[in-house]
């Protein structure tokens, strides 16, 4: 593959084409375990430039990997086959905010938190809340159907995206979806684009439903001596028609990690559940908090606390908030890897799944913590292991395989919010085996030369571990 | 096209293959204005039979039109090219109800109201509420992304469908989606199937998210002297973060029709708005009702009444409920036609659009009423005209064209909940002109011989009026 960087410089200007090794190295990895160097990084400023880049790539059959902040955990933006990385972060205009229509229009490089800062004066927010909100872009959130702690109430990115502009593989610009809450106008291609990980087109603009900022909120916490009790508490809350704005689980590994790293003195119990309700009416928030607290009690929750004091709420949430950065402090020489990190299971299978994750981890000589947005059926894990040892990667590979086998056996799905990329390719291809052909035919129809983010999803390698170099250095067997 | 009915009888048994003219006539039309006779009607009982039928049709390139109750208003199930009508109503098993997982699994022939009767003892319901709920099937609702009066709170069918089984054109069976609330596992083909009107596959089974039945509800009504005031009241309610479970508009034509037909003595005002809130907490319902009543007052609403008394609520809703059957009583010799019947516009454009609809109707010598789920941006109309006169059909055709031109000019979309079929084909193809090629390539990838409901959506005729015989008899110029 010979890429004519001069041609690309003509399109976007020379400062926006990078092919020195330092830059390429930065764009070789995301938040996954993988690493592979692209040939060139291009930063378009306009839709027209994206179209010209795609026309050039289409003509010469050059791979193009659209990229937001690179905070994906499954290798979505690792350029498996080299080629062009299309850094969309310069297309960061908030085009319009229309509170009267309860929507906004943005370019896909807009950062989630910046959008929310812009919406705040209007009394609105954009509900999906990935923990990478400080850096992640709307385009990346669309690519992965990101959600986060508020998904239990507000759903995921797909639920909030009602329209978009997309540049197709051949450079054509299409407008998908609409400006309206309800829409039965034929194929809903905007919804198909959400979660397609840059393999079907480059999202350049999005129309987003926004939500009114709640006026009141309260937070609560309860401890549980068994995972079963915590799991029952979670599914009972949902089944009773309560809609908390957050319903989070932390298992003992997570608690230990936070205590080791932050010295918060969280209790050494099997599980902590943190919950929040929000709304426009204080009485309704209080009422629901009381109901959740009662469900905690009924399921043997202890040390149940509820508060709407901002300082106390910050304290309650502190452990959960600092969990991810704390994980690498769980034990000496154990590093955090984003593997088998976001499966979703039917509500009633949460505690059983968390249990099994611990068993599998133990059997395979790694540590796995389970936590996450269990109110939406989402379980986060990370594999903690000595990434310097080659054997630990084999352990991890086995653990990953076993976790997904279990998740699928209880009717769960491979990814709840982080996407498939190629880290999860082997497990996901098994889960979706009867529809892979259907997906491939849609991909081929829209991208006949397979230039858009090739090697992901249904085309991902059968062994994630050997698919690329690792972002971690191994120094021993 | 020569169809071997013996072969079909082998598959489904002879009682489930019908080709006598009386049966064929019944299956020639739906609730649209169109009519065209199929060659044969087949009623499968099992997924395997659907697969065998599709394999046969695929081999012989025979058109297949999947059909639920035939209550669609846009010609979706009118067999434009003849062939097989696949009546799915016999596949009506409720497979499982899992309150602990907040979902149920059903065959696609299950009727909406029957599902709700089955869910009630568990304290749950399936939120989409088409007015045809008494007869329409889950499969038909999926085909059209049906919604109804509760969409302002609960969204449409697409929001509630999380997974499905689909028989593809070639007879392959695929499982799409998952059993979980959040799902980032690659292409969301279940969401693509919703609204595809039977052109991409035959939905045979669906996994549906269910919602807890609200414990309390209250209803209110207000009159408005101008459409502008009513429109402002509606968009202000939504923008303030209130989530009514219903927010319905009736214009003066609708009011007159109901009074003529039902003698309810509704006030002769420009608009009546009916609203409802529901929930698990009485205080929250009351609080929101009070807020909506205040917004009515602020926008010059008069005779504002709010009640949670079942008898009074029935009375408040009576006019809206009887609206559709009343429309044909608006004036002597004016019959109701489902044309331009469900556009959606941005919230702030509702009153402007209703105004323009009246102007267009007047200019074209027909009567158009505007009403519907305005809280979700949805405007219903019907064209009232003397269907016996040929010239009135030309008038209607012109009015339809002008209405859609206006709706598109304010950023609205052709169909909010009834689907495109081919009645709305000409307008919709204009709206979607830059993505029709993309849709065609997806259709071709999944249905290479174009046997699944051909002639609909992007393949619909350019003139709906001459596309088929009409379901109405014209007797004069």
Q: Which residues of chain B from 205 to 224 reach within 8 Å of chain A, CB to CB?
A: 211-214
Rounded to whole angstroms, the Cα distance separating A416 from A151 reads 10
**What was the pLDDT predicted at A40?**
98
Closest listed residue to residue B52, CA positions, set B96, B105, B116, B7: B7
Mean pLDDT, residues A91-98 taken together: 98
Q: Does B197 touch chain A (CB under 8 A)?
A: yes
Distance from CA of B66 to the nearest CA of A (A): 16
Tens of pLDDT, residue by residue over A420-462, are 999 999 999 999 999 999 999 999 999 999 999 999 999 999 9
H/E run at residue B431? helix B425-431
Length of chain B: 477
Res A347: pLDDT: 92
- Residue whose C-alpha is closest to residue A242's, from B280, B466, B36: B280
Q: What is the pLDDT confidence band of residue A198, given thresholds at 50, 70 and 90? A: very high
Determine how β-strand A64-67 pairs with β-strand A84-87: parallel
| Residue B322, pLDDT score | 85
What's the per-residue H, E or C state across B314-382? HHHHHHHHCHHHHHHHCCCCCEEECCCCEEECCHHHHHHHHHHHHHHHHHCCCEEEEEECHHHCEEEEE
Which chain A residues contact residue B183 at CB under 8 A?
A: 145, 156, 344, 413, 415-416
Q: How many angstroms separate the CA atoms of B357 and B372, rounded?
A: 14
pLDDT 10s digits, A335-391: 999 999 999 999 999 999 999 999 999 999 999 999 989 989 999 999 999 999 999
Q: Are strands B161-167 and B202-209 parallel, antiparallel or unpaired?
A: antiparallel
Collect all residues with Cβ–Cβ distance below 8 Å to A432 and sequence separation of at least 6: A439, A458, B185, B186
Q: Which pLDDT tens digit goes with each residue over A322-351?
A: 888 888 888 889 999 999 999 999 999 999
Percent with pLDDT over 70 in chain A: 100
* Residues of B whose CB is below 8 A from A159: 155, 159
Which among A123, A187, A420 has CB closest to B442?
Answer: A187
Which of A 16-75 lie inside 8 A of B, CB atoms?
none
Say if strands A378-385 and A271-279 run parallel, antiparallel, or are unpaired: unpaired
Mutate to test the interface with A, among B185, B214, B345, B429 (most CBs of A within 10 A): B185
Between residues 242 and 301 of chain B, which touch chain A (CB distance below 8 Å)? 242, 279-281, 283-284, 287-288
For residues B214 and B154, is the Cβ–Cβ distance under 8 A? no
Residue-wise pLDDT for A19-55, tens only, equals 999 999 999 999 999 999 999 999 999 999 999 999 9
> Of B159, B442, B445, which has the smallest distance from its Cβ to A159's Cβ?
B159
Give me the mean pLDDT over the A59-68 stretch.
Answer: 98
Per-residue pLDDT, B240: 86
Q: Which residues touch A326 (CB under 8 Å, ≥6 apart)?
A: A257, A258, A260, A261, A262
Evaluate whether B171 touches B55 at the Cβ level (below 8 Å): yes
At A264, the pLDDT band (50, 70, 90 cuts) reads: confident
Burial of B20 (0-12, 13-18, 19+ CB in 10 A): exposed
- Which residues, in sequence order, are CB contacts of A196 under 8 Å at separation 6+? A143, A457, B186, B187
pTM for this structure? 0.97
Distance between CA atoms of residues A154 and B132, nearest Å: 29
Per-residue pLDDT at A280 exceeds 90: no
**String of DSSP letters for A19-79:** -SHHHHHHTT--SSSEE---SEEE---SHHHHHHHHHHHHHHT--EEEESSS--SSSTTS-
Q: CB-CB: which of B156, B187, B420 is closest to A182? A: B156
Show residues of chain B in contact with A435, CB under 8 Å: 174-176, 189
Q: Are strands A103-107 and A84-87 parallel, antiparallel or unpaired?
A: unpaired
Asked if residue B349 lies in contact with residue B251, where contact means CB atoms within 8 angstroms, the answer is no
Closest partner CB to B428 (pick from A186, A279, A376): A186
- The label of the residue with tokens 């009246």 reads B358
Contact at 8 Å (CB) between B421 and B75?
A: yes
Residue A38 CA to residue A168 CA, distance in Å, equals 21
Which of A119, A185, A243, A418 has the most B C-beta neighbours within 10 Å, making it the best mutation to test the interface with B?
Answer: A185
B390-409 and B350-363 helices cross at what angle (nearest 10)? 150
Per-residue model confidence (pLDDT) at position A320: 85
Only one residue has tokens 């133990």, namely A362
* Interface contact flag, A189 B435, Cβ < 8 Å: yes
- Residues in B closer than 8 angstroms to A349, CB to CB, are 101
**Alpha carbon B97 to its chain's center:** 25
Question: What number is the average pLDDT over the span A277-281?
Answer: 91
pLDDT under 70: residue ranges of chain B = none
The ipTM estimated for the assembled molecules is 0.96
Q: Tell me which residue has tokens 């858009």.
A: A452
Residue A163: how many other CB atoms lie within 10 Å: 21
Helix, strand, coil percentages, rounded to 5, for chain A:
40, 25, 35
């Amino acid at each position: 593959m010979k890429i004519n960087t001069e041609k690309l410089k003509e399109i976007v200007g020379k400062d926006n084409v990078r092919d020195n090794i330092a830059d390429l190295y930065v764009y070789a990895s995301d938040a996954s375990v993988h690493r592979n160097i692209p040939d060139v990084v291009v930063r378009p400023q306009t839709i027209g430039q994206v179209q010209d880049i795609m026309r050039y790539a289409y003509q010469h059959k050059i791979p193009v990997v659209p990229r937001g902040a690179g905070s994906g955990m499954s290798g979505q933006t690792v350029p498996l086959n080299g080629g062009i990385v299309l850094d969309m972060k310069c297309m960061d205009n908030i085009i319009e905010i229309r509170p009267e229509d309860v929507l906004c229009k943005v370019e896909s490089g807009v950062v989630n938190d910046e959008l929310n800062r812009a919406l705040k004066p209007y009394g609105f927010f954009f509900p999906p809340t990935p923990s990478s909100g400080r850096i992640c872009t709307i385009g990346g959130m669309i690519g992965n159907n990101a959600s986060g702690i508020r998904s239990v109430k507000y759903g995921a990115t797909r639920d909030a995206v009602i329209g978009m502009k997309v540049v197709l593989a051949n450079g054509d610009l299409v407008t998908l979806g609409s400006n309206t809450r309800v829409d039965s106008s034929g194929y809903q291609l905007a919804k198909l684009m959400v979660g397609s990980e840059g393999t079907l087109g480059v999202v350049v603009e999005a129309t987003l439903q926004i939500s009114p900022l709640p006026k009141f909120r309260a937070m609560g916490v309860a401890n549980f001596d068994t995972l079963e009790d915590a799991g029952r508490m979670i599914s009972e809350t949902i089944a009773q028609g309560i809609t908390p704005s957050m319903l989070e689980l932390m298992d003992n590994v997570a608690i230990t990690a936070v205590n080791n790293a932050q010295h918060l003195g969280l209790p050494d119990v099997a599980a902590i559940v943190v919950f929040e309700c929000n709304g426009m009416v204080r009485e309704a928030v209080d009422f629901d908090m009381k109901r959740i607290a009662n469900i905690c009690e009924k399921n043997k929750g202890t040390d149940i606390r509820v508060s709407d004091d901002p300082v106390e709420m910050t304290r309650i949430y502190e452990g959960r908030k600092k969990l991810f950065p704390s994980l690498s402090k769980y034990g000496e020489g154990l590093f955090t890897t984003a593997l088998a990190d976001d499966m979703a299971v039917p509500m009633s299978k949460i505690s059983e799944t968390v249990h099994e994750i611990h068993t599998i981890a133990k059997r395979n000589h790694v540590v796995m913590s389970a936590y996450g947005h269990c109110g939406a059926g989402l379980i986060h894990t990370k594999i903690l292991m000595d990434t310097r040892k080659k054997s630990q990667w084999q352990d991890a590979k086995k653990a990953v395989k076993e976790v997904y086998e279990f998740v699928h056996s209880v009717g769960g799905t491979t990814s709840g919010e982080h996407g498939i990329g190629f880290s999860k390719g082997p497990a996901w291809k098994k889960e979706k085996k009867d529809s892979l052909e259907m997906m491939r035919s849609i991909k081929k129809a829209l991208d006949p030369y397979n230039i858009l983010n090739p090697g992901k999803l249904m085309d991902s390698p059968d062994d994630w571990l050997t698919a690329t170099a690792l972002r971690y250095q191994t120094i021993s067997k």
